[in-house]
Amino acid sequence: MPTYRLGELFCGPGGIAYGAINAAIEDPEFRIIHEWATDYDKDTCDTYINNICPDSPNSVICKDVRKLDLSTLSEIDALAFGFPCNDFSVVGEQKGMDGVFGPLYSYGIAALKRFKPTWFLAENVGGLRNSNDGTAFAKILSEMREAGYNLTPHLYKFEEYGIPQARHRIIIIGISDDENVNFRVPSPEPYSQTDNSARTAIEVPPIPENCANNELTRQSPTVVRRLQHIKPGENAFTANLPDELKLNVKGAKISQIYKRLEPHKPAYTVTGSGGGGTHMYHWSEPRALTNRERARLQTFPDTYVFHGSKESVRKQIGMAVPCRGAQIIFEAVLRSFAGIEYPWIEANINE
């Protein structure tokens, strides 16, 4: 069965899906097609529908996963779920399993047990390893194995795969115990010569004038003056700012506040946050990046139109998995099933 029907929980705006449906290997019979997807946010669902499955809008269910009836969904051969990371993120409070979002992974486990897909991809932040003193990650892996899957968890550093952004994510590939197939982590070596600098990603080719989601964010005169004193790679706390432009912050000083990109390096991690100096900032112009520039750092094509307000779009882009990174991993999955050799490395979940 070389064509795998993909179901997605917590689908986001479609970074995983776009990587999946564009995954192509030497044997064209092995491919992934969209079957259904679900997310609770309407703008996100609209974005997904219009870019991934415009001809089958009813295949996207816009509903809280806790109210989702799995029995209403069609059969699938593969499952993807980037379960919400809010409670596992290093930036957040790391409530882990004790938070509102931590236990949502269990709906992915329920889907594995119901549909028994041939394989699955699960994604979360690197902080998952340490949440609840490491017990959360162990529990999640244990439940996935109990559902009948051979697992390959790995901490992917997407900048090593040619993605123009330092984004580290744990991705777990699970293959059914019924399959005599071993998945290997694709090697980053083939991408070692890729120009993945922020400047190239944002400027080459230039963003078309009429491109969607490319509106500038208004900067106050104070912010413009502050940015003029911050050099590429510096932030509001490491730059040599005049007293009147310094931030009056006590306690933790988050390193990404008013941090400017370094043009010759991959960007720092794109997040869904904004305001308070967290938008991501251009290396030479005294302004925040536009949503389209952020989407380029996430490797979405310029034709990918995001729906909703500017704030909603910013969150969608920050939540997504980089399309090209997802595609690389999906192609490794397809090659594993097709029996096609590819360069690989040992799985490792440590920094």
Q: Mean pLDDT of all residues in the chain?
A: 91
Note the pTM of the prediction, 2 decimals.
Answer: 0.93
Q: Which of 39-43, 119-123, 277-281 has the lowest mean pLDDT?
A: 277-281
Rounded-to-integer distance, Cα 141 and Cα 149, Å? 10
Which one of 11, 45, 85, 323 is the catalytic residue? 85
What percentage of the chain has pLDDT greater than the value 70? 90
Local structure of residue 35 (DSSP, 8 states): E
pLDDT of residue 124: 84
- What band does 125 get if pLDDT is binned at 50, 70 and 90? low
pLDDT at residue 350 above 90? Answer: no
What angle separates helix 42-52 from helix 310-319, to the nearest 10 degrees? 70
Determine the average pLDDT of the residues in 122-150: 82
> Over the Cα atoms of the chain, what is R_g?
20
From the list 226, 133, 143, 190, the residue with the least C-alpha distance to 335 is: 190
What tokens were used for 13? 């705006």
Q: Is the peptide bond before 205 cis (omega within 30 degrees of 0)?
A: yes
pLDDT at residue 94 above 60? Answer: no
pLDDT of residue 339: 97
**Is 85 annotated as catalytic?**
yes
- pLDDT tens digits for range 210-262: 999 999 988 999 999 999 999 999 999 999 999 999 988 776 667 889 999 99
Domains annotated for the chain, with CATH where assigned, are 3-192+321-345 (3.40.50.150)
Rounded-to-integer distance, Cα 40 and Cα 218, Å? 29
- What band does 93 get if pLDDT is binned at 50, 70 and 90? very low
Q: What number of CA atoms fall less than 13 Å from residue 339's CA on the CB side?
A: 2
pLDDT at residue 203 above 70? Answer: yes
